[in-house]
Amino acid sequence: MLKYTEDHEWLRAEGDEIVVGITRHASEQLGDVVFIELPEEGREVAAGEEIVVIESVKAASDITAPVAGVITGVNAALADSPGDVNGDPMAAWFFRIKPAEASAMDGFMDEAAYTALVE
Amino acid sequence: MADTTRRTGLHDLHIERGARMVPFAGWDMPVQFPMGVMAEHLHTRARAGLFDVSHMGQVLVTPGDGRIETAAAALETLIPADLAGLAPGRQRYGLFTNDQGGILDDLMVANRGDHFLLVVNAACAEQDIAHLRTLAGVRITPVTDRGLLALQGPEAEAVLARLVPGLGEMRFMDSRILDWNGADLWISRSGYTGEDGFEISVPEARLEEFARALLGHPEVAPIGLGARDSLRLEAGMPLYGHDMDGSVTPAQAALGWSIPKVRRRGGARAGGFPGAEVILPELGAPEVIRRGLRPEGRAPIREGVAIFAAPEGGEVLGHVSSGGFGPSVGGPVAMARLHVDLPEGGQVWAELRGKRLPVTLSALPFVSPSYKR
Please state, in angstroms and rounded to a whole number, the distance separating the CA atoms of residues A107 and A11. 12
CB contact under 8 A, A31 and B298: no
Classify residue A117: in a domain, yes or no. no
Predicted pLDDT at B373: 84
Predicted pLDDT at B94: 98
CB contact under 8 A, B37 and A32: yes
Compute the nearest-CA separation of A40 from chain B (Å).
Answer: 16
Classify residue A118: in a domain, yes or no. no
Give residue-wise pLDDT tens across range B5-24.
999 999 999 999 999 999 99
List, in order, residues 6 or more apart from B153 with CB less than 8 Å away.
B43, B44, B45, B46, B47, B48, B49, B193, B195, B196, B197, B219
B32, B226, B325 member nearest A34 (Cβ): B325
- Other residues' Cβ atoms within 10 Å of the Cβ of residue B70: 16
Compute the nearest-CA separation of A18 from chain B (Å).
Answer: 27
ipTM over 0.90: no
Question: Which contiguous run of DSSP H or E holds residue B109?
Answer: strand B103-111
Q: Would you place residue B1 in the very low, low, confident or very high pLDDT band (cuts 50, 70, 90)?
A: very low
Please state, in angstroms and rounded to a whole number, the distance separating the CA atoms of residues B21 and B7. 10
pLDDT at B268 over 50: yes
Classify residue A27: in a domain, yes or no. yes
Predicted pLDDT at A119: 86
Classify residue A116: in a domain, yes or no. no
SS3 at position A21? strand
Predicted pLDDT at A104: 87
Give residue-wise pLDDT tens across range B30-54.
999 999 999 999 999 999 999 999 9
Compute the nearest-CA separation of B196 from chain A (Å).
Answer: 24
Classify residue A112: in a domain, yes or no. no
pTM of the entire predicted model = 0.94
**What residues of B are in contact with residue A53 (Cβ under 8 Å)?**
299, 353
**What residues of B are in contact with residue A76 (Cβ under 8 Å)?**
none
Give residue-wise pLDDT tens across range B281-301.
999 889 999 999 999 999 999
Chain centre distance of CA A56? 16
The mean pLDDT of B54-74, rounded to a whole number, is 98
Q: Which of B112, B116, B109 is nearest to B91 (CA)?
A: B109
**Positive or negative: CA dihedral B335, B341, B347, B353:** negative
**What residues of A are in contact with residue B325 (Cβ under 8 Å)?**
34-35, 55, 57
Compute the nearest-CA separation of B263 from chain A (Å).
Answer: 40
Q: Which of B7, B239, B202, B271 is nearest to B124 (CA)?
A: B239
The mean pLDDT of B265-283, rounded to a whole number, is 97
What are the counts of helices (DSSP H) followed by strands (DSSP E) for chain B? 8, 20
Please state, in angstroms and rounded to a whole number, the distance separating the CA atoms of residues A61 and A36. 10
Please state, in angstroms and rounded to a whole number, the distance separating the CA atoms of residues A24 and B209. 35
**What residues of B are in contact with residue A57 (Cβ under 8 Å)?**
37-38, 226, 230, 324-325, 327
One-character DSSP codes across A63-88: EE-SSSEEEEEE-THHHH-TTHHHH-
Residue A83: give the domain boundaries.
2-101
The mean pLDDT of A56-72, rounded to a whole number, is 93
What angle, rounded to 10 degrees, do the helices at B204-215 and B156-163 form? 120
Give residue-wise pLDDT tens across range B228-255.
999 999 999 999 999 999 999 999 999 9
The amino acid at B300 = P
B39, B298, B353 member nearest A34 (Cβ): B298
Q: Which of A53, A47, A41, A46 is nearest to A85 (CA)?
A: A53
Enumerate domains of chain B plus CATH numbers: 6-56+145-233 (3.30.1360.120), 287-373 (2.40.30.110)
Contact residues, chain B to chain A, C-beta under 8 Å: 31-32, 36-39, 226, 230, 297-300, 302, 324-325, 327, 332, 353
Determine contact, residues B369/B194, Cβ cutoff 8 Å: yes
Q: A interface mutation test: which of B20, B38, B302, B333 has the most A CBs within 10 A?
A: B38
Q: Which of B283, B250, B271 is nearest to B102 (CA)?
A: B250
User: How many domains would you assign to chain A?
Assistant: 1
Question: Which contiguous run of DSSP H or E holds residue A24?
Answer: helix A24-30
Q: Are strands B146-152 and B197-203 parallel, antiparallel or unpaired?
A: antiparallel
Contact residues, chain A to chain B, C-beta under 8 Å: 31-32, 34-35, 37, 53, 55, 57-60, 79, 82-83, 86
**What residues of B are in contact with residue A79 (Cβ under 8 Å)?**
298
Classify residue A114: in a domain, yes or no. no
Share of chain B above pLDDT 70, in %: 99
Name the residue with higher pLDDT: A60 or B57. Answer: B57
**What residues of A are in contact with residue B226 (Cβ under 8 Å)?**
31, 57-58
Give residue-wise pLDDT tens across range B76-111.
999 999 999 999 999 999 999 999 999 999 999 999
Classify residue A29: in a domain, yes or no. yes
What's the Cα-to-Cα distance from B103 to each of A118, B239, B270, rounded to whole Å?
44, 12, 18
Classify residue A83: in a domain, yes or no. yes
Domain holding A63: CATH number? 2.40.50.100
Please state, in angstroms and rounded to a whole number, the distance separating the CA atoms of residues B272 and B373. 31
Please state, in angstroms and rounded to a whole number, the distance separating the CA atoms of residues B182 and B172. 25
The amino acid at B327 = P
Predicted pLDDT at A102: 85
**Positive or negative: CA dihedral A82, A88, A91, A95:** positive
pLDDT at B127 over 50: yes
CB contact under 8 A, B325 and A60: no
Phi, psi of A94 (to 5 degrees): -100, -55
pLDDT at B3 over 70: no
Please state, in angstroms and rounded to a whole number, the distance separating the CA atoms of residues B297 and B357. 9
pLDDT at B2 over 60: no
Give residue-wise pLDDT tens across range B301-357.
999 999 999 999 999 999 999 999 999 999 999 999 999 999 999 999 999 999 999
**Does B219 appear as a known binding residue?**
no
Predicted pLDDT at B174: 98
